[in-house]
Amino acid sequence: MNVRYGFVIDLDRCTGCGACMVACAAENNVPPAAPRATPRTGLTPMLVRKVSNGMEGAARREAFFPIACMHCGNETPCVAVCPQQAVEVDKATGIVVQMPQRCLGCRYCMTACPYHARYFNWWDPAWPAGMEKSLNPGVAVRMRGVVEKCNMCPARLHSAKEKAAAAGKKEIDPADYIPACAKACPTGAITFGNLADKNDSVFTAAHSSSAFRLLARLGTEPKVYYKSQEPWVRALAERDSDHATEAQHG
Amino acid sequence: MADLLLIDRRLIARGVTRSSTLRFMFWLVPWVALVALGVYAAALCLYYGLNQTHMDNRFAFGMWIYLDLGMIAMGAGAFFTGFLVYILKQEDLKPILNSAVVVGLICYSGAVAVLMVDVGQPLRAWFTFWHPNTHSMLTEVTFCITCYLFVLILEYLPVLLRNRQMRKVPSFLVFEYQLHKMVPVLAGLGAFLSFFHQGSLGGLYGVLRGRPFAFRQGFAIWPSTFFLFILSALAVGPSFLMLVTATAETLAGRRLALPSVFRKLGFISGVLLGIYVAAKAIDTLIWLNVTSRAVGFSPWDFYSYKPFGSALLFLEIVPLGLLPAILLTLPMTNKKRGWVLCGAALACSGVLLNRFILTVQTLALPTLPFDDFLQYIPSWQEVATFTGVIAYGVILYSLSYRYLPLFGQAKGVDKNVSVG
């Protein structure tokens, strides 16, 4: 079966609680921020960004955009630029995979990514005493000086594949592979699935009239869709609003 | 101290006048101090990591990449002069060829040294050669710059081996003779490699589909910036060489190159700059009207963020492009040394501004609809490493001028400095 994993994020349901960010960090062994880290030097493969319609008082409206790697499906900007093939598109799943163990840390991919969804390890990873016991044994810790990003929780995919293999199946059960952010979202705003499967709920959601993608005009075919019934959110995403302001969580 | 004086005197060619050892040492002191500070700053970055810089996840490239792009453009005089002398047989430029090689070596070795600090895992530099991504402009840059640096070292060796003490070793003489026979081949190879890496440096940003301010359409796999970078480097290389020569002349207090050399380099630089400015203007018009709009961006929005207004674009194309092209080309101004040097300085400033716009302005501009305009101010470690490389260049050039035949013998030039 053709598989193209992707997310559909319902912005009208997102409360900006940040559970997805925490779940992502716990699942993928993202270290706590270094003491000198800033919002621009931290590691947040999933980052919730707050936007507003720029109005004040009763007219003010706010929304939250969870931003992760968009896993671009066409002319993937980061894949083409990496000088040593540390980024590749998995043909079987469509996941854009970053391989930190091959990364030189040149950061050209970060320059190429229009979504700013790639993060450099500016510091050595360090956990408070005792907290290292909570590390996920299925995920390698990244060293200082390499780039990382959302790989759609590869440990969970491997686990699902192992389970399928043990049961003698060729394909995984979709219920066995749900990335940490989607699993943790308390409002169900983040949904995950196979965008190439017409029977999958994300396929339907991605093709609904309220669905859109950020910077779709660049032609990179991102596999993260957003949904909103709010006209100002859609206008903002289409760059029609000059009044948007932005803040960051974490 | 007496030993030092003796060594210094023995290294200087016979019959050549150079400043006293003490004066030369005083000249070197501030530059050595800057190199020491630069090495310390670079060591901090290597030991503690790039958190010592003010680069971040959004401003992933900073001052060092600007330095690399700028220096490599300025160093283009090395391959271009070699190409003019050995391939196009412009023999009258031969007297400044050694100087051009030293300038090239400084620029390229400095750029490579900074790159080694700029990457997060320098010990993995060989990965690019082992797992090359042939689609990446950075792969092309890495391969060509590394190869060309070796070519420059090979071109520098015959100059180095002509030092008075080196010539006393018979095997060095044979080696130098053999190397000298290879120089035309090296010049051709250097031109070939430089052609590609100058272009690839332009392509580095031109291929960034996700950065509509920098993204350009092009020919085959190369965006238009690929060709613009080659043209601009060809144009500005001779200009920078003239500026270096003129500075050396001022400091040495004597003429080192014939006025005809300046006129010729100025004319070549001016003509190429004129072609570059025309190509750049056409490219900008295409970008404004076609490329940018094709992906749904209003190009003038990019110029609404201060201080990067459209004035910067005008400054780059007219006062720092068209004007120096005219100054360098017109017979009336081309004959006058002052105007030629003024034109050369403007041309170099224009190309440096171009590299700044492409590296810094591109990253400062927002891409996502809810992004902000970004600010980046380099840390002292970045500035110190930057100045350390500049100081290293001054030292290497000073030592080469003092002990090696940088400027060849030519009629009308002060014979005391002609040791080639």
Spell out the domain ranges in chain A.
5-248
Q: Residue B370's pLDDT is what?
A: 87
Categorise residue A85: left if φ over 0, alpha if ψ from -120 to 50, beta otherwise: left
Contact B120 A241 (CB under 8 A): no
Angstrom distances, CA of residue B216 to CA of B58, B94, B138, B211, B283: 21, 38, 17, 10, 8
In chain B, % helix, strand, coil (3-state, to 5) comes to: 75, 0, 25
B325: which 2 tokens?
Answer: 């092209």
Instruction: Work out the average pLDDT over B284-294.
Output: 91
Considering only CB atoms, A82 lies closest to which of B56, B124, B136, namely B136
**Contacting residues for A35 by C-beta, under 8 A, at least 6 apart:** none
**Nearest residue to A27 via CA among A178, A189, A186:** A178
Q: Which of 102-161 (A) contact B at CB < 8 A?
A: 102-108, 110-116, 118-124, 143-147
Contact A104 B121 (CB under 8 A): yes
State pTM to two decimals.
0.92
* Predicted confidence (pLDDT) at residue A68 exceeds the cutoff of 60: yes
Q: Which amino acid would we find at residue B45?
A: C
C-alpha dihedral, B349 to B299 to A222 to A49, nearest 10°:
90
Are B118 and A108 in contact, with CB atoms under 8 Å apart?
A: no
Q: Residue A158's pLDDT is what?
A: 96
- pLDDT tens, B294-331? 887 888 888 888 788 888 999 999 999 999 999 999 99
Instruction: Work out the average pLDDT over A13-27.
Output: 97
Tell me how many residue pairs between chain A and chain B have CB atoms under 8 A apart: 160
Contact A103 B60 (CB under 8 A): no
Thinking of the domain B2-406, which architecture would CATH place it in?
Answer: Up-down Bundle (1.20)
* Predicted confidence (pLDDT) at residue A243 exceeds the cutoff of 70: no
- ipTM, two decimals, is 0.91
Residue B141 distance to chain A (closest CA, Å): 9
Alpha-carbon gap, residue B77 to A244, rounded angstroms = 48
Q: Does B293 touch chain A (CB under 8 A)?
A: no
* Predicted confidence (pLDDT) at residue A241 exceeds the cutoff of 80: no
Contact A102 B131 (CB under 8 A): yes
DSSP for A175-224, written as a single string: GG---HHHHH-TT--EEEEETT-TTSHHHHHHTSTTEE-TTGGGS---SE
* Predicted confidence (pLDDT) at residue B10 exceeds the cutoff of 90: no
**Contacting residues for A2 by C-beta, under 8 A, at least 6 apart:** A196, A197
In chain A, % helix, strand, coil (3-state, to 5) comes to: 25, 15, 55
Q: CATH 3.30.70.20: does it fit domain A5-248?
A: yes
C-alpha dihedral, A56 to A57 to A58 to A59, nearest 10°:
-10
Spell out the domain ranges in chain B.
2-406
Alpha-carbon gap, residue B148 to B104, rounded angstroms = 10
Q: Which amino acid would we find at residue B284?
A: T
Contact B50 A145 (CB under 8 A): yes
* Predicted confidence (pLDDT) at residue A103 exceeds the cutoff of 50: yes
Q: Which amino acid would we find at residue B5?
A: L
Q: Residue B247's pLDDT is what?
A: 95
A242 or B252, which is more confident: B252
- pLDDT tens, A159-191? 999 999 999 999 999 999 999 999 999 999 999
Strands A245-248 and A47-52 turn out to be antiparallel
- pLDDT tens, B345-400? 999 999 999 999 999 999 999 889 888 888 999 999 999 999 999 999 999 999 99
Contact B369 A238 (CB under 8 A): yes
Tell me the three state secondary structure of residue B16.
Answer: coil
- pLDDT tens, A115-171? 999 999 999 999 999 998 999 999 999 999 999 999 999 999 999 999 999 999 999
Q: Residue B409's pLDDT is what?
A: 57
Considering only CB atoms, B51 lies closest to which of A51, A118, A122, namely A122
- pLDDT tens, B217-250? 888 788 999 999 999 999 999 999 999 999 999 9
Q: What percent of chain B has pLDDT over 70?
A: 97
Q: Residue B413's pLDDT is what?
A: 53
Q: Does B46 touch chain A (CB under 8 A)?
A: no
* Predicted confidence (pLDDT) at residue B420 exceeds the cutoff of 50: no
Q: Residue A67's pLDDT is what?
A: 96
Contact B124 A123 (CB under 8 A): no
Are A3 and A94 in contact, with CB atoms under 8 Å apart?
A: yes
- pLDDT tens, B328-345? 999 999 999 999 999 999
